[in-house]
Amino acid sequence: MKKGLWYSLVLTILCSTFPVLSLWDSNFEQATFSEVATSMACSLVIGIVFFAISSSINKTGFLSAYLIIAFWTFTPIANFSKIPRPWLLAILCVTPVLAALIVRRSKSLLSNSIPALVFFATCLNLPPLVGLIDSAISQPNGSAKDEAGAMTKVEYLSNSRGGPDLYYIILDGYIGNIGARQVLDFDNSAFTGALEERSFFIGEKSRANYPITLLSLTSTLNMNYLDLDELGVSVDSEKLANLHYALQQNAAFTKLKARGYKIVNISSEWAGTAKLENADTTLARRTIGGEFLQALMGQTPVRRFLAQKNLRSHQKRIEFGVEALKDSANIKGPKFVFCHIIAPHPPFVLGETSGASTDNSFTSWIEPKRYIQQTQILNAMILEAIDYLLSAPGEKVIVIQGDHGSAFGLKDGHSDPQPKDMLERFSILNAIYASEECKGKLYSSISPVNNLRVVFSSYFGENLEILEDASFYSWYDRLYDFERVEIPELDP
């Protein structure tokens, strides 16, 4: 191969690695290595295809680099420039023709500048690479690990004495009856009534402790409020790694493992709970490249074609969760089955979905009626699974809980949230099936931080203090800036 062509190939590779590295850098904690490797392979293949096409037209490597950059930056450019996508696509396709004409006229000049371009592309790759190395080094392990791991100081009993099978089902974004009725004008009492008929206790006044999934689940499974010192983060921190670590090493799993429980995680495919390191068994649906590849391809012009596929894949994800929950009944106990299902949270894929691939109201908190429909269909699926679990032999405890409510009012997490928006976000479903003795200790306003405290005290004779039920508000832009909030009903 000629020297010019080599330069051109190197330029192609550098332009192909950049989008993957920069996405990985900004999602270090969420992406798994195999997802990144698959995505990198995809990006390189796409790059080589562009290289093969363009090197037959123009050997300098300009065209190849241009096509790759245009491909990977399509959505960010469309969002930033507000140019309608078909127009943008036309502009991006016409430009190379003009460029080719110019290249033909001043070929030697451009050929001479290719090494400079290679240098520039190398520099482009450096910041995400440095960021990744920094993230890898500063991951919580060693001393930091101990800090984060000390979330809940509990005494572990090392003897295995058996116990009931525990099922902890998180339905993401599932609002409680009070919030549903007062904010969404949605009466969901038929579902909670059906659970009560099956001897569930319903925490009618239950409120989430935190309004964001990662915060909420970390607190719930550690049976404690989040302490920034123990997490090893500051109030201004944007680091998620310590939070992920505290979720992975949660106190409930550790405690139950010491009692001889088998931990079963039903993968949500969402980074936080897709794979919980301490689980003995993970039931997961296999997809190529996972969420990382989806996010990467979302930057390109093929996004529109993928939208329908993504929705179908989300629907399968929900169905998989419910089916796996039923299957988990057959795993030998004692076991703790943790099942995080990303529903009724959007995208709204259960029920009528015609036109969903182009309509934002299916993928965002825009149209409450889609949420209500999804909730109702999910209810039927969950009830069927619950009946299956209840019919399995052996004693059991089942918790069905929302990590937070819906967010039609709070979708941007604006700085001055209204009481109505807060009630909508913090009011949650909290339903618990347990022995009469255990249910006797439950109360209407019990919040997730106390759910397992009551269960462990009842079944394992442990004397775990019941904490004050409190709610702490923060939003994605300042995740750790917790503000204690009261969430009154609108018309009590």
Can you give the binding site for Zn ion, defined by CB under 5 A?
A: 172, 213, 403
Residue closer to Zn ion by CB (options 68, 215) is 215
For residues 135 and 21, is the Cβ–Cβ distance under 8 A? no
CA–CA gap between residue 242 and residue 29 (Å, rounded): 9
Closest residue by beta carbon to Zn ion: 213
Least distance from C-beta 184 to Zn ion, angstroms? 17
Least distance from C-beta 426 to Zn ion, angstroms? 12
Residue closer to Zn ion by CB (options 66, 365) is 365
Residue closer to Zn ion by CB (options 172, 291) is 172
Residue closer to Zn ion by CB (options 213, 222) is 213
Cβ contacts of residue 15 below 8 Å, gap of 6+? 47, 64, 65, 68, 69, 121
Residue closer to Zn ion by CB (options 218, 328) is 218
| Token pair 């139950």 in the structure block, residue | 256
First-to-last alpha carbon distance for the chain, in angstroms, is 78
CA–CA gap between residue 218 and residue 48 (Å, rounded): 43
Least distance from C-beta 295 to Zn ion, angstroms? 18
Least distance from C-beta 212 to Zn ion, angstroms? 7
Residue closer to Zn ion by CB (options 64, 219) is 219
Q: Other C-beta atoms within 10 Å of 330: how many?
A: 7
DSSP 351-410: S--TTTTT-GGGTSTT-HHHHHHHHHHHHHHHHHHHHHHHHSSS-EEEEEEESS---SSS
Q: Other C-beta atoms within 10 Å of 415: how many?
A: 8
Least distance from C-beta 213 to Zn ion, angstroms? 3
Identify the CA nearest to 61 among candidates 19, 21, 121. 121
Kindly state the tokens that stand for 67.
Answer: 């096509």
| Token pair 């419910």 in the structure block, residue | 322
| Token pair 């450096």 in the structure block, residue | 126
Residue closer to Zn ion by CB (options 213, 353) is 213
The residue type found at 382 is I
Least distance from C-beta 390 to Zn ion, angstroms? 26
Residue closer to Zn ion by CB (options 220, 450) is 220
For residues 471 and 415, is the Cβ–Cβ distance under 8 A? no
Q: How buried is 42 (Cβ within 10 angstroms: 0-12 exposed, 13-18 middle, 19+ buried)?
A: middle
Residue closer to Zn ion by CB (options 152, 213) is 213
Least distance from C-beta 206 to Zn ion, angstroms? 15
Least distance from C-beta 217 to Zn ion, angstroms? 8
Least distance from C-beta 105 to Zn ion, angstroms? 57
Residue closer to Zn ion by CB (options 172, 424) is 172
For residues 228 and 234, is the Cβ–Cβ distance under 8 A? yes
CA–CA gap between residue 300 and residue 304 (Å, rounded): 9
Kindly state the tokens that stand for 93.
Answer: 């396709």
Least distance from C-beta 251 to Zn ion, angstroms? 20
Cα-only R_g, the chain: 26
